[in-house]
C-alpha cells in the first residue's frame, strides 16, 4: 500500500534513519525545502481519511469519467466543473488505486483516452492527497510509485483557488513546482526540457485522474452508495504497531490505524458487465461487417435516377441480435445499471 510506504519513508527520513537505497532523493539532494515538504506531507498523511480502491472500483469510477468527458469536450468546461461541487469527506483525504490495473481496464474497454495507444499504459500505484484546510485553495498532491522503482516526491502540486463565495474554481489552478525535486533532477542529469516534460506529464496526469477520487466522494453520499461497498480494514497491523513501539517509530504510531477498502457491488458489477458486452458486440459487428440489428422499415417510395418511382412495402431489415446481448444496447439506458451524479449545475467560469 503506497500510503504505508510514504508514512514509513517520510518518517524514517525525518528521523535520520532512512537508507540511501530506499530514499535516493533525501540523501542525494538534501535541502530545507525537501525537509519542510516531508514534514507537511507526513502530518497530512497521518491526519487523512484513507480510501483504497480495488482495481474494479477504480475502473468503475473511471467509466463515469468517460461519460462526463464527452460533455466536457462539447462545453469546453473541465470535467470537474461539470461534476459540480463535491464536498470532501474530511479536511484531509487520501485516495489510492492501482495505476497499472486501471491502464489495462481503460485499454480493454477502449476508453477515449486510449484511442492513440497500442498497448495499456499505467504502472505501479497512485495516490491522491487532498488537503482542504486552507481557506484560499485546495491543495492536491499526487504520488506515483512506478513498478520496480523507489518512491519519488511529486515534482509539483496543484492549488485549486476558491472564489469569494467559497466554491472551487477549476479554471484558476496554480501549479506549485517542487524546488527540491527539480534540484534532484538537475543533479541526475536531466535537461531543462526534460524537467519541463516531467512537470507537464505529472500536471496532466494529476488533473485527469482527479476525477476518480471525486467520483468516489459523490458515490459515498448517494442514497445507494452508487453501487460501491466500503469495508473497514486494518492499515497497520498489531504486529506493525508493536514493532513501531519497540523501535521508537512514532510516525507509524501517529498514523491512521484503519482505512476503507472500496469494492463494487451488484449494481456496479452489472454496469461493468453490460459495458463489456457492449464493447464485444461492437467489436464483432465491426470485424464481421454486420448490418444493422433487425428492425421494421415502414412503407416508402424509392426514387431512381431514371425518374422511376417504386412503392416499397413495409418489411423487416437487418440481423437478429445475439440472445445474450444486454437490452440496453438496443434500447434506452437502464437506470438499474448506472450511477447518476447528484443534480448539480456546473460552476460558471470567471
Is the alpha carbon torsion for 69, 70, 72, 76 positive or negative?
A: positive
Long-range contacts of 68-72 (CB under 8 A, 24+ apart): 68/211, 69/112, 69/113, 70/112
Neighbours of 176 (CB within 10 A): 14
| pLDDT at residue 98, rounded to an integer | 95
**N-to-C CA span, the chain:** 40
The pLDDT profile of the chain, 350 residues, written as one tens digit per residue, is: 999 999 999 999 999 998 888 888 999 999 999 999 999 999 999 999 999 999 999 999 988 887 787 777 778 777 777 777 789 999 999 999 999 999 998 888 877 788 788 888 888 999 999 999 999 999 999 999 988 777 889 999 999 999 999 888 888 999 999 999 999 999 999 999 999 999 999 999 998 899 999 999 999 988 888 789 999 999 999 999 999 999 999 999 999 889 999 999 888 888 778 877 777 776 666 665 555 677 888 888 887 777 777 888 888 887 776 665 544 433 334 444 445 554 444 445 44
Q: Would you list the DSSP string of 114-151?
A: GTT-SS----SEEEEEEE---SSEEEEEEEEE-TTS--
C-alpha cell read off for 147: 513498478
How many CA atoms are closer than 13 Å to the CA of 163, on its beta-carbon side? 11
What are the boundaries of each domain within the chain? 48-241+254-275
Amino acid at each position: 500500500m503506497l500510503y504505508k510506504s510514504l508514512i514509513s519513508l517520510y518518517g524514517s527520513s525525518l528521523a535520520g534513519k532512512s537508507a540511501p537505497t530506499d530514499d535516493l532523493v533525501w540523501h542525494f539532494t538534501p535541502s530545507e525545502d525537501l525537509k519542510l515538504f516531508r514534514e507537511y506531507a507526513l502530518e497530512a498523511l497521518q491526519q487523512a481519511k484513507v480510501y483504497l480502491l480495488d482495481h474494479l472500483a477504480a475502473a468503475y469510477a473511471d467509466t463515469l469519467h468517460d461519460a462526463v468527458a464527452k460533455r466536457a469536450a462539447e462545453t469546453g468546461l473541465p470535467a470537474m466543473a461539470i461534476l459540480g461541487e463535491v464536498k470532501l469527506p474530511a479536511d484531509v483525504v487520501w485516495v489510492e488505486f492501482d495505476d497499472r490495473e486501471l491502464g489495462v481496464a481503460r485499454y480493454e474497454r477502449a476508453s477515449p483516452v486510449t484511442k492513440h495507444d497500442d498497448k495499456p499504459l499505467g504502472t505501479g500505484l497512485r495516490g491522491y492527497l487532498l488537503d482542504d484546510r486552507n481557506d484560499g485553495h485546495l491543495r492536491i498532491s499526487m504520488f506515483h510509485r512506478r513498478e520496480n522503482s523507489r518512491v519519488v516526491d511529486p515534482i509539483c502540486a496543484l492549488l485549486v483557488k476558491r472564489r469569494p463565495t467559497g466554491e472551487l474554481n477549476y479554471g484558476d489552478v496554480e501549479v506549485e513546482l517542487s524546488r527540491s525535486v527539480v534540484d534532484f533532477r538537475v543533479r541526475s542529469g536531466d535537461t531543462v526540457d526534460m524537467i519541463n516534460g516531467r512537470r507537464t506529464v505529472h500536471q496532466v496526469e494529476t488533473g485527469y485522474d482527479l476525477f476518480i477520487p471525486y467520483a468516489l466522494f459523490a458515490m459515498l453520499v448517494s442514497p445507494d452508495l452508487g453501487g460501491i461497498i466500503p469495508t473497514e480494514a486494518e492499515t497497520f497491523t498489531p504486529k506493525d504497531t508493536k514493532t513501531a513501539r519497540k523501535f521508537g517509530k512514532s510516525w507509524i504510531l501517529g498514523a491512521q490505524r484503519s482505512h476503507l477498502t472500496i469494492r463494487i457491488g451488484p449494481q456496479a458489477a452489472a454496469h461493468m458487465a453490460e459495458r463489456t458486452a457492449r464493447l464485444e458486440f461492437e467489436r464483432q459487428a465491426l470485424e464481421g461487417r454486420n448490418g444493422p440489428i433487425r428492425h421494421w422499415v415502414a412503407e416508402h417510395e424509392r426514387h431512381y435516377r431514371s425518374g422511376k418511382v417504386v412503392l416499397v412495402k413495409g418489411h423487416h431489415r437487418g440481423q437478429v441480435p445475439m440472445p445474450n446481448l444486454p437490452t440496453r444496447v438496443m434500447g434506452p439506458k437502464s437506470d438499474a445499471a448506472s450511477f447518476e451524479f447528484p443534480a448539480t449545475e456546473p460552476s460558471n467560469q470567471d
